[in-house]
């Protein structure tokens, strides 16, 4: 079966139940990729968000219009889209990647701290939705390409000079 | 006139209509000339483009997001506010470092402290030249200097996150003023992006 690669762009949510689909967020830096997968229904999805929280906070407040560029809105949109496709929220397994601090230079120390804030927002949104994070590769100072294989829910990472490898299990923060 | 209105006016004079096109062409040409003097070989610039790119399409517009690239990034927080970035392949960055340090091409094999410092100087000159040319061309008072340059080496996608994030907090597209820079032998191949402060809410015509 040939892989059908689908790019998840910035501020986008893609869900799928096609077993040959591979959802990919290329070269994410401070952005986060939230991957959710229902192993029974074999339905999965990825969110590629770049800002932690929408200005008005609560995504259910109805204002502003939900946007997947925000982690908090994006997680809700991702879960909603997966459920619409037939996934069960109680079976969803979460994996989280990204949130690097790529910009490290004098004068930019901790600039916006956006990567760290994105990761915190993602953890918080997943916790609020009652989802446990099975594995994560967050923080550090380098970009990563994240792949979610719909056939088996595998999430892999690739960074410069390294080949594609599975994300490690557990709540480990890696560079 | 309020400060933000003044800034908006200056940006508009660079991107609006045929007069803006001419002004922008002149500004970018001036920058290419200054870079040529700095590296000791003729660098020419492509026709400047001004485009509002939706966030979801930045990836398509930028190219191979996994490619290893160098980004020389500066922020202009006063004077003319915005962001600027010079994006170039690592091979080209090494050549530029050699040229600047007066070494034969191929001497630099990795981006150490000296090479990064040389690239930072190139970014600094590019943006300073741009600002000076804008000041001259628009009759604006001297525009203040940008931040120190930050040199990033990473996947292109990760570098782009740095410039997209501050814009995305305000709007759903990126107003990109772009020119390409290259020499006759393609030793120098770079893209220069200038992004006006999104809070000014300038749109492309």
> Which residues, 6 or more positions from B109, have their beta carbon under 8 angstroms from its beta carbon?
B94
Q: Is the peptide bond before A124 cis (omega within 30 degrees of 0)?
A: no
The structure tokens listed for B119 are 């690239």
Is the pLDDT at B168 greater than 60, yes or no? yes
Q: Do A143 and B158 touch (CB under 8 A)?
A: yes
Instruction: Quickly tell me which residue has 């930045």 as its tokens.
Output: B58
Q: Nearest residue of B to residue A52 by CA position? A: B169
Tell me the nearest-neighbour CA distance from B57 into chain A, angstroms.
7
Q: Is residue B171 part of a domain?
A: yes
Tell me the nearest-neighbour CA distance from A14 into chain B, angstroms.
12
Nearest to B56 among A10, A26, A29 (CB): A10
Q: Which of B58, B124, B154, B174 to mutate to test the interface with A (most CBs of A within 10 A)?
A: B154
Q: Do A51 and B151 touch (CB under 8 A)?
A: no
Query: What are the residues of chain A with a beta carbon less than 8 Å away from any beta carbon of chain B?
Result: 7, 9-12, 26-31, 50-51, 67, 69, 100, 102-108, 112, 114, 142-145, 158-160
Tell me the nearest-neighbour CA distance from A31 into chain B, angstroms.
7
Return mean pLDDT, chain A.
90
CA distance B132 to A58: 45
Q: Do A143 and B159 touch (CB under 8 A)?
A: yes
Q: Nearest residue of B to residue A68 by CA position? A: B56
Q: Is residue A173 helix, strand or coil?
A: coil
Q: Which of A77, A44, A69 is nearest to A148 (CA)?
A: A44
- B96 neighbors B122 (Cβ within 8 angstroms): yes
Q: What is the pLDDT of residue A32?
A: 98
The structure tokens listed for B16 are 């609006």
Is the pLDDT at A111 greater than 90, yes or no? no
CA atoms within 13 A on the CB side of B153: 17
Task: Give residue limits of the domains in chain A.
Answer: 4-166
The structure tokens listed for B146 are 């940008």
Q: Does domain A4-166 have CATH number 3.30.1330.200?
A: yes
Could you tell me where the DSSP H helices lie in B89-155?
90-100, 113-138
Q: Do B157 and A69 touch (CB under 8 A)?
A: no
Q: Is residue B204 part of a domain?
A: no
The structure tokens listed for B137 are 């061309």
Q: Is residue B39 part of a domain?
A: yes
CA distance A110 to B7: 28
Please state the ipTM of this predicted complex: 0.89
User: A31 catalytic, yes or no?
Assistant: yes
Q: Nearest residue of A to residue B66 by CA position? A: A27
CA distance B139 to B114: 37
Distances (CA, A) of B83 to A19, A57, B86, B200: 42, 27, 10, 13
- A143 neighbors B158 (Cβ within 8 angstroms): yes
Q: What is the pLDDT of residue B1?
A: 63
CA A47 to chain centre: 5
Domain that holds residue B23: 3-197
Q: What is the pLDDT of residue A59?
A: 52
Give the DSSP H/E element, type plus range, for residue B185.
none
Q: What is the pLDDT of residue B64?
A: 93
Q: What is the CATH number of the domain that holds B26?
A: 3.40.1550.10
Q: What is the pLDDT of residues A36-62, one digit of tens each?
A: 999 999 999 999 999 999 987 555 555
Q: What is the mean pLDDT of residues A138-157?
A: 96
Exactly one of A31, A87, A125, A126 is catalytic; which is it?
Answer: A31
Q: What is the mean pLDDT of residues B50-69?
A: 90
CB atoms within 10 A of CB A5: 12
DSSP letters spanning A92-103: -EEEEEE-----
Q: What is the pLDDT of residues B66-105, one digit of tens each?
A: 999 999 999 987 778 899 999 999 999 999 999 999 999 9
Strands (E), chain A: 4-7, 12-16, 21-28, 32-38, 43-49, 93-98, 133-138, 144-149, 155-158, 165-166
The structure tokens listed for A63 are 């204002």
Query: What are the residues of chain B with a beta carbon less than 8 Å away from any beta carbon of chain A?
Result: 55-60, 65-66, 68, 73, 147-152, 154-162, 164-166, 168-169, 172
- A113 neighbors A101 (Cβ within 8 angstroms): yes
Domain count of chain B? 1
Q: Is residue B202 part of a domain?
A: no
pTM of the model: 0.91
Chain B positions touching A108 (Cβ under 8 A) are 147, 150
Is the pLDDT at A82 greater than 90, yes or no? yes
Q: Do A112 and B166 touch (CB under 8 A)?
A: yes
Helices B17-39, B90-100: axis angle to 10 degrees equals: 60
Q: First CA to last CA across chain B, in angstroms?
A: 23
């Amino acid at each position: 079966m040939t892989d059908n690669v689908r790019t998840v762009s910035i501020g986008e949510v893609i869900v799928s139940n096609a077993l040959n689909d591979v959802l990919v967020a290329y070269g994410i830096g401070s952005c986060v990729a939230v991957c959710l997968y229902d192993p029974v229904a074999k339905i999965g999805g990825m969110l590629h968000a770049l800002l932690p929280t929408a200005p008005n906070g609560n995504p259910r407040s109805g204002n502003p219009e939900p946007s997947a560029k925000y982690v908090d809105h994006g997680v809700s949109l991702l879960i909603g889209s997966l459920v619409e496709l037939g996934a069960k929220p109680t079976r969803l397994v979460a994996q989280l990647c990204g949130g690097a601090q790529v910009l490290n230079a004098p004068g930019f120390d901790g600039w916006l701290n956006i990567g760290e804030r994105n990761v915190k927002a993602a953890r918080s949104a997943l916790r609020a939705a009652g989802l446990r994070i099975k594995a994560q590769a967050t923080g550090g100072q380098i970009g990563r390409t994240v792949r979610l294989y719909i056939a088996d829910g595998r999430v892999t990472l690739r960074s410069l000079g390294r080949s594609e490898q599975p994300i490690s299990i557990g709540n480990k923060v890696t560079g | 006139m309020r400060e933000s209105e003044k800034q908006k006016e200056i940006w508009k004079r660079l991107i609006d209509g045929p007069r803006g096109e001419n002004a922008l062409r002149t500004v970018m040409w001036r920058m290419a000339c200054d870079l040529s003097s700095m590296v000791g070989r003729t660098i020419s610039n492509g026709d400047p483009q001004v485009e509002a790119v939706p966030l979801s399409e930045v990836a398509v517009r930028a190219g191979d997001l996994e490619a290893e690239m160098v980004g020389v990034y500066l922020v202009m927080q006063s004077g003319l506010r915005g962001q600027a970035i010079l994006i170039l392949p690592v091979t080209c960055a090494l050549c530029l470092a050699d040229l600047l340090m007066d070494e034969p091409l191929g001497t630099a094999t990795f981006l150490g402290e000296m090479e990064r410092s040389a690239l930072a100087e190139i970014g600094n000159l590019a943006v300073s030249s741009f600002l000076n040319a804008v000041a001259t061309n628009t009759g604006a008072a001297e525009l203040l200097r940008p931040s120190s340059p930050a040199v990033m080496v990473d996947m292109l996608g990760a570098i782009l996150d740095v410039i997209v994030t501050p814009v995305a907090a305000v709007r759903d597209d990126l107003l990109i003023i772009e020119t390409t820079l290259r020499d006759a032998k393609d030793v120098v191949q770079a893209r220069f992006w200038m992004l006006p402060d999104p809070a000014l809410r300038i749109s492309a015509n």
